[in-house]
Amino acid sequence: MAETTMEFVTIADLAAQLRAGALSPVSLAEASLARIAALDKRLHSFIATTGDRALAEARAAETLLRGGHDLGPLHGIPYAVKDLYDVKGMATTAGTRLLANNIAARDCAVVRRLAAAGMVLLGKTHTVQFAFGGVGINHDHGTPHNPWSETPHAPGGSSSGSGVAVGAGLVPMALGSDTGGSIRLPAALCGTVGLKTTVGRISRAGVYPLSWTLDSVGPLTRSVEDAALVYQALHGVDLADETTVGVPTHDVLPSLKAGVRGLSIAFAETVFFDDVDAEIVAAVREAGRVFGGLGARVESVAIPEVAEAMSEQRRAQMVAAEALAVNGRFIDEHFDALDPVIAHRMKAGRQLSATDYFVVLRQWAALRERLQRTLADVDVLLVPATMIPPRPIAAIDASLETYTENNLRYLRNAALGNILALCSVVLPCGFTRDGLPIGLMIYAKPFDEAMALRVAWAYEQATPWHQRRPDLGWAR
């Protein structure tokens, strides 16, 4: 199969080609693996590929289709997973060489669900060390290369490899995880769609944790519809993750293309637009005009709960403290072998007392309850995904101070959503004068992924941004 047949094609379109006989799962897997081999030496999105497993899964998918057994829209579609996800027989390194021998005994829950849906696993993608960073830099395994610039720019973290793999057309979907923006930031900076789900929607069993309180699982894709299709296969109860117990399943597909006429769509003015790059502000404000043209009621709202969440100075220590519960032994025994930026950030979790930890948890719970009342008449919020566009890695990584400053500016708007338990879709809403992607973040209430996806789909269909492709001539 020619490379141009699959590059940047959506899951929905690939599924149609598979069923029409224009493609086979085996030829699709082979072409995908060949594209990875050709481009990823420069892009550095994959830490490992799973060629033998991929071809075996593709042959099984092909046999089923030929026999008339169709497992659904994901059947025969290739994908990748962030290197926090357990894949049987492979190391789950969480971005550090110290876990090179952390071999998984079985696939994690979501990989098993995608296998049941007929998907074909191509490999594992790079992540920030211990998934603890929004820029996407990894000083241990190396940093994935944002596909939109020949000069290395921030890919977004911590699902950096997944963002680059989808953004560069190596795979139509890659799984990430999101604790403070780790799906949405790579989506914004690499020009893809990212779905941050509500904690409790999708099992995290077998996914290396950063913060059990805030971690969520979701896909990075080429289209909003693709994100919805993957979400349908992934969400649901898993007794191995107690946060999913009692959370009902739902079908996001019937309402996906219902449009936004009559919906209340609001710019979230409190904090989110403060000190944001002017090009990003202009693109997000223009998105509001698009929604108005589609028949939505567009307004601006003040959200005091956001300002209160922002003012809680212990919020970063909360994540660090939970991360220490998993990784404290590395801080104690191998501190000098760790990425110094990550190690110092995580070590700061020891400054948080147990009393303060529980106080902040209760504050967050109270803010989430109040926010539901504040947003009672609002369907979604519009927010800049990041405060700044992709910046050159060399400038960001010049010093601990420049890294810290940029990391905070990438994380702020996304991390506030994790604290407030909102679900979210990020998708392209423009490009800077330098040709770098700008991300629109659509926030919906907890467990209302259907609304977030519906609004995102309407915007995507009304605008051309998702049709742009990076010029990867430099990577060949």
pLDDT in tens, 95-121: 999 999 999 999 999 999 999 999 999
- The catalytically annotated residue of 158, 160, 216, 223 is 158
Q: Examine the residue annotation and report whether 158 is marked as an active-site residue of this protein.
A: yes
How many angstroms separate the Cα of 134 from the Cα of each of 70, 79, 182, 183, 388? 39, 23, 6, 10, 12
Q: Kindly state the average pLDDT of the residues 126-146.
A: 97
- What 8-state DSSP symbol labels residue 268? E
424 within 8 A of 417, measured Cβ to Cβ: yes
pLDDT tens digits, one per residue of 30-45? 999 999 999 999 999 9
pLDDT at 7: 85
Helices vs strands, H then E, count in the chain: 16, 11
Cβ atoms < 10 Å from Cβ of 206:
23
Rounded to a whole number of angstroms, the distance between the first and last alpha carbons of the chain is: 18
List the structure tokens of 292: 């108005």
Partner residues linked to 103 by β-bridges = 91
**What's the rounded Cα separation, in Å, for the pair 228 and 280?**
26
Cβ atoms < 10 Å from Cβ of 293:
11
Band of the pLDDT at 226, cuts 50, 70, 90?
A: very high
> 3-class DSSP state for residue 369?
helix
List the structure tokens of 91: 């190391």
Q: Examine the residue annotation and report whether 182 is marked as an active-site residue of this protein.
A: yes
- What 8-state DSSP symbol labels residue 201? S
pLDDT tens digits, one per residue of 322-331? 999 999 999 9
pLDDT at 318: 96
Domain 3-475 in CATH 1.20.120.430? The answer is: no
Share of the chain above pLDDT 70, in %: 99
Band of the pLDDT at 1, cuts 50, 70, 90?
A: very low
pLDDT at 3: 37
The burial class, CB within 10 Å (0-12 / 13-18 / 19+), for 112 is: middle
How many angstroms separate the Cα of 339 from the Cα of each of 84, 126, 404? 17, 15, 14
**What's the rounded Cα separation, in Å, for the pair 461 and 465?**
9
How many angstroms separate the Cα of 67 from the Cα of each of 7, 55, 396, 424? 28, 18, 53, 39
How many CA atoms does the CB half-sphere of 260 hold within 13 Å?
Answer: 31
Q: Kindly state the average pLDDT of the residues 55-61.
A: 98
Q: Kindly state the average pLDDT of the residues 459-465.
A: 98
Classify residue 134 as left (phi > 0), alpha (psi -120 to 50) or beta.
alpha
DSSP run (H or E) holding 6: helix 3-6
Whether 2 shows a pLDDT value over 60: the answer reads no
Domain boundaries, the chain: 3-475
Q: Kindly state the average pLDDT of the residues 187-200.
A: 98
**What's the rounded Cα separation, in Å, for the pair 252 and 245?**
19
Q: Kindly state the average pLDDT of the residues 235-243.
A: 98
Q: What pTM, to 2 d.p., does this model score?
A: 0.97
- The catalytically annotated residue of 162, 182, 203, 216 is 182
How many angstroms separate the Cα of 352 from the Cα of each of 158, 314, 315, 336? 23, 8, 10, 23
pLDDT at 19: 95
**What's the rounded Cα separation, in Å, for the pair 445 and 41?**
40
290 within 8 A of 463, measured Cβ to Cβ: yes
Q: Examine the residue annotation and report whether 82 is marked as an active-site residue of this protein.
A: yes
Whether 337 shows a pLDDT value over 70: the answer reads yes
pLDDT at 464: 98
- The catalytically annotated residue of 32, 45, 82, 196 is 82
Cβ atoms < 10 Å from Cβ of 462:
14
Band of the pLDDT at 4, cuts 50, 70, 90?
A: very low
Residue of 13, 47, 12, 14 whose CA lies nearest to 32: 14
